[in-house]
Amino acid sequence: MAFQRLKDQWVLITGATSGIGKACAFHFAEAGSNLILTGRRKNRLKEISKEIGEHYSVQIETFTFDIRDREACKKCVDAISDPIDILVNNAGLASGKDPVDQADFEDWDKMIDTNIKGLLSMTRFVSEKMRKRNSGHIINIGSIAGHEAYAGGSVYCATKHAVKAITQATKMDLHGTNIRVSAVSPGLVDTEFSEVRFHGDRDAAETVYKNMDPLTADDIAEIILFTASRPPHVNIMDTIVLPTAQSSSTMVHRSS
């Protein structure tokens, strides 16, 4: 019954071409929500939209752009005529795992520009519309890395700590309105995340999830859906979600 609250609402999901973003698109569509899907890969967006349209009677709009491009973010939000009821700031990545004294500056810029600046740009443009309507929900995808740090993750962890701070401060900035602000912070999730982090090295990516049961994109999408479907007076600020085999960023039990 709770998911009935999501029926006919418009949900904007960034980074919807794979992983958690893609899973969110299907879960929200199943709940009857209309979708605004964004991402860098136009063909992926078309394929996902077609597949969703074959199973669910919802409206779908797509926008192809990189959220590092602030003007493209503004152009997207300005082009949306329907009210954005929910913003899922999912687009993000890790790039590289080198120690701070050896890291690639391009990796740093990519993470900072996507995970922090891109999220802020989308939040800035969408929250302005939400404030005018005095309604909406912003859900940021954080990480266990936003609650603790680990070697080789100096900048990635910093960006996810920033997401945690941005979530808290945004709630305060919108204090007194009916706009809700939340975060969902996963541990190990088996998506393209590690393949991107290791610059396409699939062998290295597979070792991250070797001999353990990681979370799936659907696991996190279900929690995002739960967060979004609470009654209007309920605001879940953050949810830390780990696979049973993981106890911290660096503690992972692997079967022999």
Q: Which amino acid makes up residue 146? A: G
Q: 128 — phi, psi (to 5°)?
A: -60, -40
Write out the two tokens for 28. 């929200």
Report which DSSP code applies to 146. G
Nearest to 21 by CA among 31, 12, 9, 30: 12
**Continuous segment of H or E residues that includes residue 186:** strand 179-186
Neighbouring-strand partners of residue 141: 184
CB atoms within 10 A of CB 198: 19
- Positions annotated as catalytic residues are 156, 160
CA–CA gap between residue 171 and residue 140 (Å, rounded): 12
Contact, 165 vs 123, CB < 8 A? Answer: no
**Continuous segment of H or E residues that includes residue 123:** helix 119-133
**Continuous segment of H or E residues that includes residue 107:** helix 105-111
Q: 13 — phi, psi (to 5°)?
A: -120, 120
79 half-sphere exposure, CB direction, 13 A CA radius: 13
Contact, 13 vs 37, CB < 8 A? Answer: yes
Q: With both helix axes pointing from N to C terminus, report the angle between 42-55 and 19-30 in degrees, rounded to the nearest 10.
A: 30
